[in-house]
Amino acid sequence: MEEPSQLVDITSIEPLLPDVSPQSVEAINRQRRHFSAMKTANLSRYLEHQRSTCVTPRLVVLNGWSDTSRQSPQDLLPSQLLHHLLKENNESIVRCGGYWVQLGNLGIVVNPGRFFLERFHKAGLHIWDIDHVIVTDGNETASFDLDRLWTFNREINSLLKEWQLSPHVISYWLHPTAFERCAPSLRPSFRQERSTVHRLETFHDISAFETLDLNDKIALDYGSTTPSEGHIAPLMIRLRSLQENSHSSLGFLSQAPWNEAQNAFFSSCQTVVLGIGETSFEEIASLSSNTVSLGYSGVVKILDNETTRLAVIAEQGFSEGDIRIESLKRLREELRSPTTTIIPAEEGVTIYLDSLHMTAAGLDTPTPIHAIKTIRSEGPYSRLIFLDEASVL
C-alpha cells in the first residue's frame, strides 16, 4: 500500500529566480509607456486626415504580380520561380492587393488580397475612404486581408469611442463560401455595425443576375460566372451609377472559366477588370478554350462588343513565365474592336473612369489610355512602368 503523499508548504520554497532590481523593471515600464505614447500619437495623426475630397469616379489598382518591392537583389531564386518549381499554388502571389473604386461619394474595395492594407495606404488612401468591401470568390486569396482590414477598423473605432465620436462603419458583401468562412470573425463591436455583413446569394431560377443598391446613386449587380453549374462558382460583378448620362459602369471577373452569360453581363461596361489565371502557350497561340481559368480566349469573347473602352488584364499565372507584354500584344491582334484599349494591371495604376485617363509609375500627369506604352522596369517579373507615347523617341 502506497504511503500518502506529503503536503509541501510552498511558502517555504526559496525563489528559483534572483531578485529583479527595481531599475530593470522601471526600464521595461519606461519602454512600454514610450511605445504606448508613440502608438497613440501615430493613430491620432492618422485620424486627423480628412476623407478624400476627390469625387471623380476612379479605379485604383492595388494588384501586382507579387510583393517585388520586398525582394532583395541578393535573392538567389525569385519567389515566382520557386513557387513554380515546387508546384505550389501561385494564386497567393498573382492575386495580391485587390482594387479600390470610387463612385460618387462611395469608396468600394474589391477582393482585398494579400498586402492590401499596405498597398492601400501606400496609394495615399485612408480608412475613411472605405464604405463597402466586396469579395467575389470563395478562394482565400481573394479575401486574404479581409480579417486584417476588419481588425484595423475595429481598433480605429475603439479610439473613436474614447473620443466620444461615432464609429466608422464598413459594409461587407461576400461570396457565399467567403461568407461561411469569414462572417463568424466579422462580429459587430458597435451598434451601428449591425447588419453590415451580407451573403451574396444567387438564385439561378429567377434571373441571370441579382441587383442591390449600395446607396441611392450606386448599384451592385452580381451573378454566378457559371449559372448552369451546381457548385458555388465565383461571382461576376458590375458597379454602375444610377444617375442618367453616366458612363462609369465597371465590371470585375476574377479567374473564372468563360461562360456565354458573361458576354451579356459585361457588354454594358465601359471598363472591365479581367483576371486571366493560369494558361498555356497552346491556348494562347490557338485561342482554344480554357476550362480552368478565363484565359485569353475568354477575354476575346467578353470584349466582343462595342461598349467596352478599356480592359485591365490582371492575375496572370506564371506557368509560361513573364509573358504579360507579349501575350497582350497577341490579344490586341485578335481583338475585333479597335476602340477597346488593353492594359496590364500593376500596383499603383489609377484610372479615371469618366475620361479614361490614367496615372501610374512613369506618368507624371493623367494620360489618355490609348497613348500609353508599357515596359518592364528590370527584366522578367519586375514592376511594369507606363510611359506617354509622346515621351518615347
Going by pLDDT thresholds of 50, 70 and 90, the confidence category of residue 203 is: confident
Q: What angle do CA 99, 291, 232 make, to 5 degrees?
A: 60
- pLDDT computed for residue 18 by the predictor: 61
| Mean pLDDT rounded to a whole number for the chain | 86
- pLDDT computed for residue 391 by the predictor: 83
Task: Check pLDDT > 80 for residue 81.
Answer: no
Edge-to-edge strand ranges of the sheet holding 271-277: 210-213, 218-224, 235-241, 250-254, 271-277, 310-316, 341-344
- pLDDT computed for residue 71 by the predictor: 57
Number of domains in the chain: 1
Distance (Å, whole) CA 156 – CA 193: 14
Task: Check pLDDT > 80 for residue 70.
Answer: no
Task: Check pLDDT > 80 for residue 15.
Answer: no
Any domain includes 23: no
- pLDDT computed for residue 336 by the predictor: 77
Distance (Å, whole) CA 179 – CA 200: 8
Q: What are phi and psi of 323, to 5 degrees?
A: -115, 25
Any domain includes 24: no
Kindly state the helix (H) or strand (E) to which residue 177 belongs, with its residue range.
helix 176-182
Going by pLDDT thresholds of 50, 70 and 90, the confidence category of residue 67 is: low
Any domain includes 375: yes
Any domain includes 353: yes
Alpha-helical segments (H) within 49-175: 79-85, 91-94, 116-122, 146-162
- pLDDT computed for residue 69 by the predictor: 47
- pLDDT computed for residue 152 by the predictor: 95
Polymer length in residues for the chain: 393
Cell numbers found for residue 203:
438564385
Any domain includes 35: no
* Nearest C-alpha neighbor of 300 from the set 360, 258, 271: 258
For residues 316-328, one letter each, b for 16 or more C-beta atoms within 10 angstroms of the residue's C-beta and e for the rest, the string is bbbebebbbeebb
Any domain includes 260: yes
* Nearest C-alpha neighbor of 117 from the set 145, 92, 140, 142: 145
Going by pLDDT thresholds of 50, 70 and 90, the confidence category of residue 228 is: low
- Among 13-27, 125-139, 254-268, 291-305, which is the least confidently predicted range? 13-27
The CATH number of whichever domain residue 197 belongs to comes to: 3.60.15.10
Any domain includes 43: no
Range of the domain at 100: 53-391
Task: Check pLDDT > 80 for residue 223.
Answer: yes
Distance (Å, whole) CA 310 – CA 249: 11
- pLDDT computed for residue 42 by the predictor: 87
Going by pLDDT thresholds of 50, 70 and 90, the confidence category of residue 13 is: very low
Any domain includes 31: no
Contact 313, 274 (CB under 8 A): yes
Cβ neighbours of residue 384 under 8 Å, at least 6 residues apart? 324, 325, 344, 346, 361, 374, 375, 376, 377
- Among 85-94, 119-128, 332-341, which is the least confidently predicted range? 85-94
Task: Check pLDDT > 70 for residue 257.
Answer: yes
Cell numbers found for residue 50:
480628412
For the stretch 296-350, pLDDT in tens is: 889 999 999 989 999 999 998 888 888 889 989 988 888 877 889 999 999 999 9
Residue with cell 515546387: 86
